[in-house]
A and B are shown apart, each in its own frame.
Chain A
Amino acid sequence: DADVTQTPRNRITKTGKRIMLECSQTKGHDRMYWYRQDPGLGLRLIYYSFDVKDINKGEISDGYSVSRQAQAKFSLSLESAIPNQTALYFCATSDFSEGSDGYTFGSGTRLTVV
């Protein structure tokens, strides 16, 4: 099993619909992150959580919300999806300290909003 699992892998949804992307990890890491990848823009941080009671906005949080249900689970919701939220979404975990290997990423969720 993968260390970081994202579901679904692919999703097509209509404008205005609410959608949830889920992420679970078996790494035992406290920190979890949601990024989106867009061509020419790289990876941009949406939300991050350093423990179950800690939620922080990233660079591009507007239109998104998150829930940290447990140490191992971090969900991203699009309250009312719009076409410019079409992107590749990645969840990541970390136990970040100098000398560590940074983040472990999931395989991504490709979301298309039509």
Chain B
Amino acid sequence: DQQVKQNSPSLSVQEGRISILNCDYTNSMFDYFLWYKKYPAEGPTFLISISSIKDKNEDGRFTVFLNKSAKHLSLHIVPSQPGDSAVYFCAASTNTDKLIFGTGTRLQVFP
């Protein structure tokens, strides 16, 4: 069973607008959540994270929201830029154990 799910395989957004990427998880023991970004022919790179004791974390244009009761995580990118076009993976872990990744969402930002 997929413990971390990204139900939208792709998303297309106009430059300057907000991109919202969603992630759902099933394991209530997860206490740390991350977003990774992946360009073609490269490994994933860390983008932003959030602990389960918080409900929001912001870093520049990127904000991650956590709704523990709904077991839902989202990444907001404002404003979206063409360079943000990539595959985004959410990931979760328990007690600093191994990361479990979602299936990924391909974001395309067009002019």
Chain A residues in contact with chain B, CB under 8 A?
4, 33, 35, 40-45, 48, 58, 90, 92, 96-99, 101-108
Is B110 engaged at the interface, CB distance under 8 Å to the other chain? no
Chain B residues in contact with chain A, CB under 8 A?
4, 6, 9, 32, 34, 36, 41-46, 49, 51, 89, 91, 93, 96, 98-104
Contact residues in A for B100 (Cβ distance below 8 Å)? 45
Q: Which residue, A101, A102, A104, has most C-beta atoms of chain B within 10 A?
A: A102
- Tell which of B43, B45, B101 touches A42, judged by Cβ atoms closer than 8 Å: B101
With both beta carbons as reference points, the residue of chain B lying nearest to A107 in the complex is identified as: B43
Contact residues in B for A103 (Cβ distance below 8 Å)? 36, 44, 46, 99
CA distance A41 to B4 in the complex (A): 11
Q: Is the CB of A44 within 8 A of B43?
A: no
Q: Is the CB of A98 within 8 A of B32?
A: yes
Q: Is the CB of B98 within 8 A of A45?
A: yes
Contact residues in B for A43 (Cβ distance below 8 Å)? 44, 89, 91, 101, 104
Q: Is the CB of B9 within 8 A of A40?
A: yes
- Tell which of A41, A90, A102, A104 touches B49, judged by Cβ atoms closer than 8 Å: A102
